[in-house]
Amino acid sequence: MSDWQEITGGVTAPRGYRAAGITAGLKPSGLPDLALILSDVDAIAAGVFTTSHVRAAPVDYCRQRLQARGSARAILCNAGQANAATGEQGWKDALASAEALSQVLKIPADAILLASTGVIGQRIRMDALVSAMPQLVAAASETGSDAAAQAIITTDLVTKSIALETTIDDRPVRVGGICKGSGMIHPNMATLLAFVTCDAVVSTPLWQQMLSRAADKSFNQITVDGDTSTNDTLIALANGQSRTAAITEMGPEAEKLEAMLTAVCQYMAKSIARDGEGATCLIEVQVTGAPDDKAARQIAKTIVGSSLVKSAVFGRDPNWGRIAAAAGRAGVLFEQDNLKIQLGDIQLMEAGQPLDFDRAAASAYLKQAAAGAYLKEDTVLISVSVGSGSGTGKAWGCDLSYDYVKINAEYTT
């Protein structure tokens, strides 16, 4: 039983936040493309970013700002142009974006964090962005989370948001989030943007530690296609407006807050994997019996990222050999004789040996998951045990369909 409940409101569910999403003319499609998340007061800020050596200008910008300041008032996100591989001019565009918003909000430019998504190699359409700033700020409201979620998506088929509430010091504390991502998704991080708001009072170092651990159990455990993006950004703000006592070290209250933060991140991570480009179902791999949790997560991530496993799921083929092969190449030592594999409730392998199973029933299980696409019933569950160790881990992905190739073959055309 969790210590929290789901509520409405996304990033504006926590106290002291407003958000907006508008059409600024950045996307050729004419769809919403500029989002703002705004805290009424300075908020403690933490971030996790792409590990790619080819990074978008907003990624380097945010890293610098977080290191120098550790707090923020606003997050500005544009969709349509990634501002990645844009050289010195891309960096200047990032600075100019923050400056343009700061003039309208009348806050320091270094209190603004940035994110971009879209086609790599394309600069932001700066004239359109700058001229839209007054409209964007005017649109910011305590009910603006859905509009912001709509404005950050690209190839996503659905918007993605969540908010949870718990009680600390007999007062409600909330965490909300919105994210985008559908393709170019792979651990460390992946083309995903995720923004989290919280109204707890928490110290800067602890908030960063919490977010990093939450990312390891969520966004770093999803994969759609094995490609890591240039723009991956996860930013979390905590503005203290719940008026609870300050959380400065680990203890019961910190553990409760971190568990809720992790739950928000896992919900968003799964929603991204579920909405993978061309996907028909979500795949969840659960691994037990590993030497430790890190090893279990590594095995799970390898299985869910296997193109052969993903293709078999799309073909509704219960090909357990591909699961076993992926587990074996995950880089974690285990005895083959201890390997156990299960698809839903159907046992496929025990003690390293194949079992007789109802192939028609297993295929029907896969078909049933595809029929529930975009619903919570769409999950294909693969359970793997590799021994008697204490390590457990999960990873999420999606099947690999014909449409994935079509979507990405035509991405810039």
Residue 290, domain CATH:
3.10.20.340
Query: Do residue 306 and residue 244 come from a single domain?
Result: no
pLDDT, averaged across the chain: 91
**Is residue 286 located within the same domain as residue 267?**
no
Are residues 269 and 380 both part of a single domain?
A: no
pLDDT given for residue 227 in this prediction: 53
Q: Which of 274, 295, 323 is the last residue of a domain?
A: 274
Domain boundaries, position 259: 5-274
pTM over 0.85: yes
Look at residue 226 in the predicted model and tell me its pLDDT: 56
Residue 109 corresponds to which tokens in the numbers above? 């430019």
Q: Are residues 104 and 241 in the same domain?
A: yes
Q: Which of 86, 117, 191, 233 is catalytic?
A: 191
Same domain? For 234 and 289 the reply is: no
Residue 401 pLDDT: 85
Is 90 exceeded by the pLDDT of residue 2?
no
Final residue in a domain of this structure, among 239, 274, 309? 274
Same domain as 201, residue 223: yes
Q: Residues 390, 305: one domain?
A: yes
Lowest mean pLDDT among 122-126, 202-206, 223-227, 252-256: 223-227
Longest Cα–Cα distance of the chain, Å, equals 69
223 and 360, same domain (yes or no): no
Angle at the Cα of 317 from the Cα atoms of 311 and 320, rounded to 5 degrees: 90
**191 labelled catalytic:** yes
Pair 303, 384: CB distance under 8 Å: yes
Q: What local confidence, expressed as pLDDT, does residue 52 receive?
A: 79
Structural domains of the chain, count: 2
pLDDT for 391:
98
Mean pLDDT of 266-294: 90
Exposure on the CB side of residue 399, measured as CA atoms within 13 A: 26
Ramachandran quadrant class, 118 (left: phi over 0; alpha: psi -120 to 50; beta: rest): left
Same domain for 270 and 297, yes or no, is: no
- How many angstroms separate the CA atoms of 332 and 299, rounded? 7
pLDDT at 411 over 90: no
Number of H helices, E strands in the chain: 11, 16
**Domain end position, chosen among 227, 258, 274:** 274
- CATH no. for residue 204? 3.60.70.12
